[in-house]
Amino acid sequence: MALNGMMLHCGGKNVTLAELEALPKPERVGPRHRPEPHHRFVGMFMDCLGDVGLNLDSLDLGLAGDKGERLFFTATVTPTAVSRLHNKLVGQGQAFQIVGRKGNAGQVALKMFAGLVTFVCDNMMISGDSLLVHKRQTLNLCMEEELMAALMLYTEQAGSMVAARQAAGALPLDDQEAKALILDLITEKVIPGRLAHEIVANYFSPTDAMTDCHPRSFGGLFESCTRAYRPLSAERKLKATQETTSRLVYAPSERELIVAGPVEVYRPAPALILN
C-alpha cells in the first residue's frame, strides 16, 4: 500500500476512522512505551489542523501488520481564512499534503512529513519536502503538543515554499540556460533521457491550455518538467520532482537579481491565412 494522493495497493489495507476505533487497545512492550490508539491519534491530528488554520480536504488511512499495529496516512489540506498562509495562497487553489506513519508495537516511531510532493508506503518508505515529527511513543511524549508544534512549523515552511515558487515563477530564464538545465537533468540521471523531448516541447512549444508552462522563467520550466514526470512510477516521480524542485525552485529563488520588466510569456504566433 502506498499513499501519494492516490491509493496503490501492495500489501496494506485501507481503512476508515470507524475501523480504527474497533481495533483492540495497543499493548505496551516496555516500561517506557506508551502507545496512542490510532483513532485517538487521528482525532488529535484533525483537531490540531483546525487549531492552526488548516482545512482537511481529504484523509486516506491505511493499516499494516497482523493486528493493525502500523498506521499510515496522507492528508490533503488548504489554509482557512484565519491561517497565516491564507493571504499567500488565496486565489491560487494551492493544497499541500501531510503524510505520516505510526507504529504501536515499539519498533516504528511516529514520523510525519509535509509538502507539495509526499509519499508514504507500508514498506516504511516515507518522504516529503519538510520533516515535521520523528518521535517514539514514550511516557515523556505529549502527542498533542508535538502535533501542534509540528503543524505550526508546517505553516511556516509551507509559506516559504510558496514564496520560493512565486519567486521562481517571476525569475526570467534565458533559452540557452533553460536548455542547459534540461541537459543537466538528463546527464546527471535525475530523469530518464526519454523525457527530454517532452520537456523541451512543453517549455518551448506549449499549447494554449498549458498556461503553467508559458512563462519564460524558472517556474515555467519547473512546470514543464513536472508535466513530463506524470507517467513515472511513484518512487521515481518523487525523487525526480524533489531534485527538480531544488534546482528550479529553491536555488533560483535565492538569487539576488533585479527584474527590470515582466517575465516573457510564450504566445503562439497567429496562423497565416493564405488565399
Measure the CA–CA gap between 178 and 200, rounded to whole angstroms: 9
Provide the residue type at 112 as one letter. Answer: M
Q: Which residue has better confidence, 272 or 199?
A: 199
Q: pLDDT tens across 14-73, in order? A: 888 888 888 888 888 788 888 888 999 999 999 999 888 888 998 989 888 777 888 888
Q: What is the pLDDT of residues 229-261, one digit of tens each?
A: 888 876 788 788 888 988 888 877 665 443 434
Cα distances (Å, whole numbers) of residue 3 to 76, 101, 259:
11, 11, 40
Highest mean pLDDT among 91-105, 144-158, 172-186: 172-186
pTM (2 d.p.): 0.63
Contact in structure between 131 and 98 (CB atoms under 8 Å): no
CA 61 to chain centre: 17
Please provide the average confidence, as pLDDT, over all residues in the chain.
Answer: 77
Task: Check: CB of residue 30 under 8 Å from CB of residue 106.
Answer: yes
> Is 196:222 a contact under the CB 8 Å cutoff?
no
Mean predicted confidence (pLDDT) in 107-120:
74
Secondary structure of the chain: what % helix, strand, coil (to 5)? Answer: 40, 20, 40
- Cell reading at 151: 503543524
Domain ranges for the chain, please list them. Answer: 2-163, 175-253
Top pLDDT among 254 and 132 is at: 132
